[in-house]
Structure 1
């Protein structure tokens, strides 16, 4: 049986922390920035930890063996 591959688009969008949580970039910073206040833009910097309810769906694509 062949090896299972990691989903390519998932590995570009998500990452795992050392404790196994899923890290993702925040949405809402690609376009239409003129509508947002400077505070909204500042708050969208960096990454966030995904909610526990959504983690299994992403981990299924990132860890095909686990």
Structure 2
């Protein structure tokens, strides 16, 4: 059997913390920022944990 390869796109989108949580960036902060209010763009900073229902799918794509 060939080796399982991790999904490189998912590896760029999420990060596994030291305790094993999977965190991601919030969406909507890449482009078209000029018309978004400062309040909205500030709210989009930082990371959030991946939703509970998505964790098995993300772990499979990461090869864990």
- For normalisation by structure 2, the TM-score amounts to 0.84
Residue 40 of structure 1: how far off its partner (Å): 0.9
Gaps of 5+ in 2: none
Residue 19 of structure 1: how far off its partner (Å): 2.1
- For normalisation by structure 1, the TM-score amounts to 0.82
Query: How many equivalent pairs are there?
Result: 64
Gaps of 5+ in 1: none
Give the ranges of 4+ consecutive aligned residues of structure 1 lying more than 6 Å apart after TM superposition.
Answer: none
RMSD (CA atoms): 1.3
Match of 1:23, SS? strand
